[in-house]
Amino acid sequence: MITNQELANLIFPNVTETVEDLEKEFPKRQLPEGAEVTRFAPSPTGFLHTGSLFTSLICRKVATQTRGVFFVRLEDTDTKREIQGSGEELLEQLKIFNIVPDEGYMGNSQKGNYGPYVQSQRADIYRAVIKHLIILGKAYPCFCTPHDLNEIRARQESAKLVPGYYGQFAKCRFLTNEERATRLLAGEPFVIRFKSSGNHIRKIRVHDLVHGTFEIAQNDQDIVIYKSDGLPTYHFAHVVDDHFMKTTTVIRGEEWIASLPIHLELFEALGWKAPLYAHLPVIMKLDENGNRRKLSKRLDSEAAVSYFLQDGYPSEALIMYLMTIANSNFEEWIFLHHFEKMEDFIFSFNKMSLDGALFDIGKLNFFAREILAKKTKEEIYDMAVAYADKYQPKLLEVIKRSPSYFMEIMNIEREKENPRKDYEKFGDLLSSINFFYDDFYQDLLKGPLPFNERFNKQTISRVLIALKEQLPFAVDEQTWFASMKNIGITLGFAPNGKTYKNDPDKYLGSIGDVAEMLRIALTGRKNSPNLYYVMKVLTKERCDKRIEQIISSF
């Protein structure tokens, strides 16, 4: 007769640490009343997902608000899917969004007393707990091959039964310890399964911070907790880690609700108190058939946080947008606070909507414009340089030609009550300001200029020559504009659009046409910020040269 203890020793001969030892090693945290311990637990399988940013944002917020702890744990038990370096990348990207963990995995180091925070370094801990479960008779080795498993599944499907490894189908749970030992000794590959005592006919009540209380079927699957590669599965690692790391609130995506009964049963089997759970709605996207689906990293560029970084969105804009999804009262709050100090907003789980929001890039753009409009020219400069340095060398080169010139450009109609709101991301900055730079301006001249065809070249020349005499370098905006108007009138243009429309035969055009000629001559395009300021920034020398060049090209 082989006891569970003997079986456990046979499987894990070198594991001497017990669960009690571990409990001593990881005592209760000393934290203020009401402090919550949250965690973000990504797998290093690629770049940061927008949904993960959302989750980690809320984890950070909840911990900060309650003076608790937010830590990061790297879930790298799937060695096949692991992408080298992506753990560090994840951390870096979180930092860009001001989401910095208090402890845990920090990229190249680890911080805190509840580690290690990388699952592949916790093998001894998992083994100790599994050994404990085997001794308790709540876990057993399973020798079923993928082939066996497929067979079971096929039988269940044809009999229209719930698929899986449970009850009578869990063949290996009925093996005697002698049989187990014999096969183990023979070197048969195995996994360890949890011996479920649940029944899916029975329901359990579960509590969720977002969804409230609801009923769900008990788990009855003998899930794998220890893989043949010696690493735990997610379910088991979650329970063990969040227990020993003293997580109070597990905040994760809604896709985990279905496996909640497994986790709860595991906690119970180990005699541990389960944490609070908050299952967040997933961010959705409309597919080509008009159906909603979860943002997919493979199909949707906006699923990867790096997409927004590459485009040069201000990081605050994405966070602000995500906060509107997180809490329905946030938007009103941030309007009231003029898009500032969003860290002062108090997040609450019950202000969270229950169905996943469609990702709305238009709304993100709106926040981005608001945020950039609020920045000073110095801030814009710093942000632009940081962006360009990483993603757009050409932009960096242009900015560095003269930081002060760049700042003047960016400062047009900025320092006022209602600043311009035409920039939303740095990715398209260069194309909107390039005409301020002579080399780009010359490139623009290579194409046809968008002069109104109603006017011939003589007329345009006459207008430009006259205006050139009155460029606004010694006068204020009103004075200059009045003088442009006068020049226009002298040359046969109506003082405003209305006058022209009422009597189109009497005039060559309106003052708008005059301004347009000048604008095209100076900028190569029909739209630009206020001409007065554009000219000021360009300097008299440049304006003169450009006008002369246009006239002589006719």
Nearer to RNA, 1 or 201 (CB): 201
- Selection from 72, 69, 67, 68 nearest residue 55 by Cα: 72
Residues in the chain: 554
Nearer to RNA, 255 or 382 (CB): 255
CA 197 vs CA 116, 149, 265: distances in Å:
31, 20, 9
Indicate the residue type of 296.
Answer: S
Prior bond to 116 cis, omega within 30? yes
Contact yes or no for 371/405 (Cβ under 8 A): no
Kindly state the smallest distance separating residue 510's Cβ from RNA, in Å.
7
Nearer to RNA, 83 or 162 (CB): 162
Nearer to RNA, 140 or 532 (CB): 532
The CA distance from 266 to 225, in Å, is 10
Kindly state the smallest distance separating residue 452's Cβ from RNA, in Å.
11
Phi first, then psi, for residue 523 (nearest 5°) are -120, -10
Nearer to RNA, 294 or 540 (CB): 294
Nearer to RNA, 61 or 369 (CB): 369
Helix (H/G/I), strand (E/B), else coil: 279: strand
Nearer to RNA, 24 or 338 (CB): 338
Nearer to RNA, 214 or 554 (CB): 214
Kindly state the smallest distance separating residue 31's Cβ from RNA, in Å.
26
* Strand-by-strand arrangement of the 37-40 sheet: 110-111, 103-105, 69-72, 37-40, 249-253, 276-280
DSSP string, 324-337: HHH-TTHHHHHHHT
Kindly state the smallest distance separating residue 535's Cβ from RNA, in Å.
10
Summary count for the chain: helices (H), strands (E): 24, 15
Phi first, then psi, for residue 501 (nearest 5°) are -65, -35
Kindly state the smallest distance separating residue 390's Cβ from RNA, in Å.
26
Q: Are strands 276-280 and 249-253 parallel, antiparallel or unpaired?
A: parallel
Nearer to RNA, 294 or 545 (CB): 294
Phi first, then psi, for residue 263 (nearest 5°) are -65, -40
Tokens found for residue 517: 């000629």
Contact yes or no for 170/219 (Cβ under 8 A): no
Indicate the residue type of 429.
Answer: L
In which element (H, E) is residue 250 found?
Answer: strand 249-253
Nearer to RNA, 27 or 450 (CB): 450
- Selection from 403, 521, 506 nearest residue 471 by Cα: 521
The CA distance from 454 to 458, in Å, is 12
Kindly state the smallest distance separating residue 523's Cβ from RNA, in Å.
9
Kindly state the smallest distance separating residue 320's Cβ from RNA, in Å.
11
* Strand-by-strand arrangement of the 224-226 sheet: 139-142, 191-194, 224-226
Tokens found for residue 75: 């879930």
Kindly state the smallest distance separating residue 223's Cβ from RNA, in Å.
7
Helix (H/G/I), strand (E/B), else coil: 191: strand
Nearer to RNA, 60 or 519 (CB): 519
Kindly state the smallest distance separating residue 291's Cβ from RNA, in Å.
4
Tokens found for residue 511: 């003052």
